[in-house]
A and B are shown apart, each in its own frame.
Chain A
Amino acid sequence: MINNGGGLFTKERTLDLGSDRNLEALGFLADLVKNQDVYPASAGYSGEDAVSAFSQGKGALFLSNPGLSNRLPKIADKFGLVQPLVGPHGDKGTIFWVNNIMLYKQGKHPAETKFFLEWWSEHEKDLWTKGHNTQLPVRKSFAADPYFQGDPETKFILDNYVPVAKTTATLATEIFPKLNDVEGEGALQSLSQSLLQGKDVNSSVKTAADRLKSVLED
C-alpha cells in the first residue's frame, strides 16, 4: 500500500484503509493469488519461513530489513540489494519503524531522566561501531559516520530507501502512540492472510477496517 502511495491513515490521522490507492494495491495482490502466481501455502508462512526459503535459494526476491547479511553470513556474497520498487503511479516507498526510547512521566525524576536520555541518544554510536546493533541509526550525524558510509549495504539503504521510507502512520506525517495498538491488533496480518487465501478484497478490507476502527476508538 505504501509503495503505491497509499497508507493506513489520512494526513489528519483518520483511518483510511479503503482508499483508492490501498484498494488498488490489495487488488493487485488478490489478482496475483487469483492468477495462481502466489504459492498456495503462503497464508500460513511466517517471516522465518521466508528467511529460510531465501537462504536455501528458493526465493529470488525477499523483502527484508537492514542487516540481512549479518543474519545470513554464509550466503551474504550471493545476494544484493535492488532499488525500491516503483508503483504504477510512479510512487516509491518502503516502511520503517523507529524504536523509541521511552521514559515514564510518573517516575521520580522525569526531568533528570530526560536529560540523561538526550545525552544517551547523542552518544550511543558505539552501540553500532562495537557491533551491538545492526539496524539503521536515526541520527543523520551517525549515518554520516564512515562506519556506516563505508559499508556498501548500509550506504545503499541510507541513500535509496531511507529517503522514501514511511511509517505506519502514513499518510499522517508523524507517528502517534495508538500505532502500537494498531500493529498489535494484527488486523493487517489477518487481512493479508485472507487475501492470500483468495478471499474477496472488499469484505476482507471491511473486516480489517472494522477491527482497526475499534482499536482507534478505544
Chain B
Amino acid sequence: MPLKVDLRSRAASPAVTQTINQPFRPLPYVLLLASLAFIFIIEFYPFINGVSFSFHKGSLLSTGAFVGLGNYLRLFNSPSFYNSLWFSFIFAFFNVLVSYVLGLALALFLDPDFPGRGFCRVALLVPWIVPAVVSIVSWKWLIADKGGLVNVILGSFGAGPIYFLSQSGWAMVAVIVIKIWRSFPFMMLSLLAALQVIDKTYYEAARIDGANRWQMFWRITLPHIKNISIIQAILMIIWSINDFETPFLLTQGGPSNATENLILLSYRYTFGRNDVGLGSAVAILTLILLMVLSTIMMRQQAKSA
C-alpha cells in the first residue's frame, strides 16, 4: 500500500512551527566561516586569479598591464590554438567512444560468474592503476622504431617498421590509443557496477517472452546504464581534454605540434613563452568549453530521466 504524507498537516505541526519561530542563531554560520574561507582560498581564489591573469599581459615575474580581451583575440587569430582545439576534440572523441565501447564489452564479459572472474577483473584494472610515467615509458619501449615489440611483430609479417612517434599522423594515433588503454578500466569498472544492480528478473521475464540477447541488451541493459554512461562520458571528456601527462610524456606535443592539446598549449605559452596571460586565456577557454559540453550532456540526461 503506498505511503501518503500530508504535507499541509506536517507544516502545521507544533514541531515545525517551533522551528520556524526560533530566533536566528548566528553561531552555526560563524563556525562555518572557517571552512568557507578555506574552500574559497583553495577553490575560488586560484580560479579568480586565473581569470584575472587572462586579462593581463603578464609574465612569470609580474602580472603586467591590463589588456582586456586582448589575449583572447590573439588566441582566436592563432593557428596553434585551432590546431590544439582540433587535437583536443579528436583526442577526447576517440577516447570517450572507444574506451566506452571497450569498457562496456568487458563489463558485459565480466558480469556473469565464471571461474577466474576475480583475476580477470584485477588484471584488467592494471592499466588504470599503474602510474602514468611507468605505463607511458613502457609504451614508448613497445612502439619504439628499433627493437620495439610492436615493430618486431610487424616485421615478422614482413610489414613496418612504423615510426609511431616520428610522423604526425601516427603520433596522434599512438597518443590516442595509449590514452584509451589508460582509460577503459575506469569505464569498465563503473559500467560493471551499474550492470550488477540491474534486477535479473527483467532478463528472466524477457527470456520467457522470447527476447533474444540483442533485444535484452537494447531494451533492458542500455536503458538501465544510460545515466551512468552519460556521467562517465562527461567525466571522460573532462579528463581527456585536461590530460597533460599522456601527450607530454609521449611526444611533448610533437612532432610539429601534431599532438599538442589545449593543456599543453597553455603550458607552452605560460612556461615556454613566458606569456602567463595567453596561457591563462587558453586555460579559461578550455574551462568554458568543458562547462558547455558538461551542461549539454547533463541537460540531455535530465531530459531522458
Binding site for B on A (CB under 8 A): 40-46, 104, 106, 180-181, 184-186, 189-190, 193-194, 196-197, 199, 207, 210-211, 214-215, 218
Contact = CB atoms under 8 A, between A and B. Distances in A.
27 contacts: A40-B163, A40-B166, A41-B145, A41-B146, A41-B165, A43-B254, A43-B255, A44-B163, A44-B166, A44-B167, A44-B251, A184-B273, A185-B268, A185-B272, A186-B257, A189-B254, A190-B257, A193-B254, A193-B256, A194-B255, A196-B255, A197-B167, A211-B80, A214-B74, A214-B78, A215-B273, A218-B278
B52 interface: no
A23 B187 CA distance: 50
A58 to B, nearest CB: 9
Interface in B53-67: 57, 61-62
Contacts of A186: 257, 268, 272
A197 B272 contact: no
Nearest to B254: A193
Contacts of A41: 145-146, 163, 165-166
B242 interface: no
Contacts of A196: 166, 255
B166 A190 contact: no
Identify whether the interface residues of A are mostly helix, strand, loop, or mixed.
helix
Identify whether the interface residues of B are mostly helix, strand, loop, or mixed.
loop
Given A41-B145, A41-B163, A197 B80 contact: no
B166 A184 contact: no
B273 A45 contact: no
Contacts of B278: 218
B301 interface: no
A193 B259 CA distance: 13
A210 B257 CA distance: 15
B141 interface: no
Nearest to B57: A218
Nearest to A218: B275
Interface of B: 57, 61-62, 74, 78-80, 145-146, 163-168, 171, 251-252, 254-257, 268, 271-275, 278
A46 B251 CA distance: 10
B258 to A, nearest CB: 9
Contacts of B171: 44
B273 A42 contact: no
Contact of B273 (A104, A185, A189): A185
B256 A197 contact: yes
Nearest to A199: B256
Contacts of B268: 184-186
B63 to A, nearest CB: 12
Contacts of B80: 211
B255 to A, nearest CB: 4
Contacts of A185: 268, 272-273
Contacts of A193: 254-256
B265 to A, nearest CB: 11
Contacts of A181: 273-275
Going nearest first, the 4 A-B pairs with the smallest beta carbon separation are: A44-B166, A184-B272, A44-B165, A193-B255
Nearest to A46: B252
A186 B257 CA distance: 9
A211 B268 CA distance: 13
A68 B257 CA distance: 29
